[in-house]
């Protein structure tokens, strides 16, 4: 399985990289970085350091967008820490980023192996939108695309209605959802129902090795922030769940195919993701292509596989 990962590490992005790098059948053909949880310079440096930590130092990293298509950027230091990784200082990588941008890397890879490369997008969708402008046939040239983003029936996490990755670049998300990719959306609707609890976090601390110990240290900061939100020790695992849905589609136990739009105008609702979920609503009459919105997963198996991915190394 060949995967291009577009991300903004970011603590849950880090756990998603751990999930992918633990699986022998996965070849990460490239990592694109984007502003979001931190500046793109920091997310790029973090991606390089994380790939070294997780035993994949040879994966090329392409620096992507430093700002959204239209609005000014905002960062999330309160959630992910001053360095985007909970203040944990990882050893520097031995290599730097590639000369090409993330969008250029994705287009080059897609053209070189049409239909063979899947995309995991777990940051603002700016790089994917830029890749679409470089290559409008991109939806036909990649395999599955799994996006972590949006909040359809769930509350938002950066505004009352909007999820961070969508709110960070609503125009990019709108372009990507309209483009006709074979796209699965892992939104807050499912990630906020698939949280880890104190027992899972305590279990992680019992796993030997650098991989688990360092990931556990990242998570301490994240859990500090999340525990306030969910009212007990625990946290959401947004990006690893998207990675798991790409690798293990059998984890999805219910989904609905619907066109999804992003609100671009609303004074209070900019970045909101809208899907017509009324019973009997005819998606077939909507000219916009549908995306697959995940509504239920096998959370027990996901949580076990996520812990297993941290056992090695
Ligand atoms: C998403 O926003 C980022 O903070 C996380 O890394 C995740 O991709 C959750 O809304
Ligand atoms: Ca992310």
Any idea which ligand is nearest the CA of 7? 2
Q: Which of 19, 54, 51 is closest to 242 using CA atoms?
A: 19
- Using one digit for the tens of pLDDT, what is the confidence trace for 132-159? 999 999 999 999 999 999 999 999 999 9
The span from the CA of 282 to the CA of 261, in Å, is 15
Give backbone dihedrals phi and psi of 269, rounded to 5 degrees, phi first: -125, 10
Q: Give yes or no for a contact between 311 and 212, defined as CB atoms under 8 angstroms apart.
A: yes
The four Cα atoms 7, 13, 18, 21 give a dihedral, to 10 degrees, of -10
- Using one digit for the tens of pLDDT, what is the confidence trace for 259-306? 999 999 999 999 999 998 887 766 667 889 999 999 999 999 999 999
Confidence band (pLDDT; 50, 70, 90) for 229? confident
Question: Atom 4 (ligand 1): residue with closest C-alpha?
Answer: 37
Residue 37 alpha carbon, nearest atom of ligand 1: 4
- Using one digit for the tens of pLDDT, what is the confidence trace for 172-193? 999 999 999 999 999 999 999 9
State residue 183's pLDDT score: 98
* Res. 8: pLDDT tops 70: yes
State residue 283's pLDDT score: 60
Q: Which of 7, 8, 19, 52 is closest to 196 using CA atoms?
A: 19
Residue 148 alpha carbon, nearest atom of ligand 1: 8
Question: Atom 2 (ligand 1): residue with closest C-alpha?
Answer: 164
State residue 276's pLDDT score: 85
Highest mean pLDDT among 68-82, 244-258, 277-291: 244-258
* Res. 313: pLDDT tops 70: no
Written as six digits, the tokens of 118 are: 């899947």
Active site positions, annotated: 238
State residue 284's pLDDT score: 63
Q: What is the mean pLDDT of residues 92-117?
A: 97
Q: Ligand 1 pocket: which residues have CB below 6 Å? A: 10, 12-13, 37, 76, 79, 122, 148, 157, 163-165, 238-239
Q: Which of 7, 34, 36, 43 to mutate to test the pocket of ligand 1 (most atoms within 8 A of CB)?
A: 36
Q: What is the mean pLDDT of residues 114-133?
A: 98
pTM, 2 dp: 0.97
Mention every residue, 6+ apart, whose C-beta is less than 8 A from residue 7: 13, 16, 17, 31, 32, 33, 34, 43, 47, 120, 121, 122, 123, 239
Q: What is the mean pLDDT of residues 37-53?
A: 97
Q: Which of 38, 192, 239 to mutate to test the pocket of ligand 1 (most atoms within 8 A of CB)?
A: 239
Portion of the chain with pLDDT greater than 90, in percent: 90
Pairing of strands 117-121, 144-148: parallel
Any idea which ligand is nearest the CA of 37? 1
Ligand 1 centroid, distance to 123 Cα (angstroms)? 6
Confidence band (pLDDT; 50, 70, 90) for 79? confident
Written as six digits, the tokens of 228 are: 């306030």
The span from the CA of 249 to the CA of 297, in Å, is 9
Ligand 1 centroid, distance to 200 Cα (angstroms)? 20
What is the H or E stretch that residue 285 is in?
A: none
| Ordered alpha helix ranges (H), 81-237 | 102-112, 126-134, 138-141, 164-168, 170-178, 188-191, 198-205, 210-230
Question: Atom 10 (ligand 1): residue with closest C-alpha?
Answer: 164
């Amino acid at each position: 399985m060949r995967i291009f990962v577009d991300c903004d590490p970011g603590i849950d992005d880090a756990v998603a990289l751990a999930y992918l790098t633990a699986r022998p059948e996965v070849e990460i053909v490239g990592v694109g970085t984007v502003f979001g949880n931190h500046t793109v310079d920091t997310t790029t440096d973090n991606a390089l350091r994380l790939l070294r930590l997780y035993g994949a130092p040879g994966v090329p990293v392409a620096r992507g967008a430093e700002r959204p298509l239209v609005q000014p950027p905002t960062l999330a230091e309160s959630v992910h820490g001053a360095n985007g990784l909970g203040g944990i200082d990882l050893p520097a990588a031995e290599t730097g980023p590639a000369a090409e941008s993330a969008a250029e890397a994705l287009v080059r890879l897609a053209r070189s192996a049409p239909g063979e490369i899947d995309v995991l997008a777990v940051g603002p969708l700016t790089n994917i939108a830029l890749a679409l402008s470089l290559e409008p046939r991109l939806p036909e040239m990649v395999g599955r695309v799994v996006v972590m983003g949006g909040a359809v029936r769930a509350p938002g996490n950066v505004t009352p209605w909007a999820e961070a990755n969508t709110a960070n670049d609503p125009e990019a998300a709108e372009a990507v959802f309209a483009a006709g990719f074979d796209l699965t959306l892992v939104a807050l609707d499912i990630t906020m129902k698939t949280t880890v609890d104190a027992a899972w976090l305590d279990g992680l601390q019992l796993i030997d090795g650098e991989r688990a110990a360092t990931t556990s240290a990242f998570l301490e900061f994240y859990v500090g922030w999340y525990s306030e939100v969910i009212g007990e020790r625990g946290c959401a695992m947004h990006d690893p769940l998207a990675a798991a849905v790409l690798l293990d589609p059998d984890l999805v136990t219910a989904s609905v195919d619907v066109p999804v739009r992003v609100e671009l105008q609303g004074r209070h609702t900019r970045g909101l993701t809208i899907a017509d979920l009324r019973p009997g609503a005819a998606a077939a009459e909507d000219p916009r292509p549908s995306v697959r919105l995940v509504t239920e997963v096998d959370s027990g198996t996901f949580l076990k596989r996520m812990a297993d991915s941290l056992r090695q190394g």
